[in-house]
Every structure is written in C-alpha cells, then in structure tokens.
Amino acid sequence: MTTPHSKVYIEILRHIRAIIAEKQLSYGDKIPSERELAENLKVGRSSVREALRALELLGMIETRRGEGTFIKDFREHNLIELLGTFILDDTKAIKDVIKMNELLEKNALQLILQSDINVQLEELSSKVQDTEITRFELMTELVKLANNFLLYRIWNVLNEYVSFVYKGDQSHSSSKKHLAMLLDALIKKDHLEVFIQYEAVSLKENVE
C-alpha cells in the first residue's frame, strides 16, 4: 500500500532524476541543494533530506561539506557486489542473470545484422587482430554499435552482475580466433555463423 509519505518520497526521487536528465548531469556534477529541492517541490526539507540520504547510502550521490551534493559513479562503491550478495545467492538466480545478458547480446547482434555499419565492424575486426581484446571489451563495442541506447544501458548494468559472478574475468572462455570469426560473420551478414560463433564465446557454459 502506497502511503502519502511514500508518494512524496517517490516524487522527490523522480524530480531529482528529471533534473539529472534535463541538465544532462553526469558523475561529479552538482545537484540542487536540499533547500532548493524542498522549495521547488513544495515539500518539507525533512522529506528531501530522507530521499537524499537514501541515494547517498546507495553510493549514488555524495555530500561535501561546504560545497554541496554531487553525483557519484556507483561502480566506485561496489554497489553491484553489495546487491549481488543478496540477489545472486543461488544457482537459479545466477543462471537467470546470465540468460538475460545473453538475450540482450543476441538482440544487439540482430540489430547489427540489420544495419549498414561494415566500416565500423571492419575497424573493430582490425583491432581484434592487432591487439589483445577480451570478450567483455568486444561485446561492449558491439552493443554500442547496435545503436539502441536503452538496450546498451540495461546490458551495461546487467553485465556488472555477470562480472561479479565471474569475479571480473569474462575473457577465459573466449579465444581471439572465435572473436575474430564472430566479427567476420557480422561483416558478411551470415546470420547462422554469427550465432554459431556467439555460442563459441558464450559465458553460460562456465556456470558452476
């Protein structure tokens, strides 16, 4: 049941989120003060203080004495590890996270197959041939090339959980050969081969 207090709390959080989006604020940028938020929303400062405290406990913002409140990079404070300790506490949950990660990556590959971006793919292929690149680094580039911002944002957060499961090591199952073959198949628009090579670099077989 939603109480009047919780409605105010949620509205404050939504307002802060809208400010961040409207002003395109990022890590290190300052957000309005407790007083300004209270005046703009016409709510008590105690309610604003409670919402800001919750965001600070999550490591999303920080208050610097005499300076104000600033947005933080939540990854710096191991939020994923903290949440993962509670969420990824059984084999089924782990498999569900990895499966969803796989579905997002496959959707990204489908979008790439429908796009005309061979120049970017060839540049990425040269990078794979000339340098050491991990599975995570390659998939990051590919999901970006899918050109779907929401898909990338969701995948990026979810992949932090996958990294937690694999203790940061996502490269052990992926040979340079298969990564190169995946890119080659994308360039040739060979749908079947794309997903054969994707399976070759898949993480799901390594779940214990």
Task: pLDDT band for 1, please (50, 70, 90 cuts).
Answer: very low
Pair 72, 31: CB distance under 8 Å? no
131: DSSP letter: S
Q: Give me the CATH code for the 4-76 domain, please.
A: 1.10.10.10
**Three-class SS of residue 124?**
helix
Give pLDDT, residue 172. Answer: 45
Whether residue 206 is predicted with pLDDT greater than 50 in this model: the reply is no
- Between 7 and 113, the more confident residue is 113
- Between 111 and 136, the more confident residue is 111
User: Could you say which architecture CATH assigns to the domain 79-206?
Assistant: Up-down Bundle (1.20)
Residue 31 — φ and ψ, nearest 5°?
A: -105, 165
Rounded to an integer, the average pLDDT of 29-42 is 89
- Please, what sign has the CA dihedral across residues 200, 202, 204, 208? positive
Mean pLDDT check: name the lowest of 116-120, 182-186, 201-205. Answer: 201-205
Give pLDDT, residue 88. Answer: 62
Mean pLDDT check: name the lowest of 61-70, 104-113, 117-126, 140-149. Answer: 61-70
Whether residue 160 is predicted with pLDDT greater than 90 in this model: the reply is no
Task: pLDDT band for 161, please (50, 70, 90 cuts).
Answer: confident
Task: pLDDT band for 22, please (50, 70, 90 cuts).
Answer: confident
- Please, what sign has the CA dihedral across residues 156, 158, 161, 163? negative
- Domains in the chain: boundaries: 4-76, 79-206
**Three-class SS of residue 15?**
helix
Residue 134 — φ and ψ, nearest 5°?
A: -85, 165
Give pLDDT, residue 4. Answer: 56
Which residues, 6 or more positions from 27, have their beta carbon under 8 angstroms from its beta carbon?
71, 72, 73
Rank 9-13, 18-22, 123-127, 134-138 by mean pLDDT and report only the highest: 123-127
Quote the CA–CA distance of 74 and 67 in Å, as a whole number.
Answer: 20
Give pLDDT, residue 182. Answer: 95
Q: Angle at Cα 101 formed by Cα 87 and Cα 161, nearest 5°?
A: 35
- Between 27 and 49, the more confident residue is 49
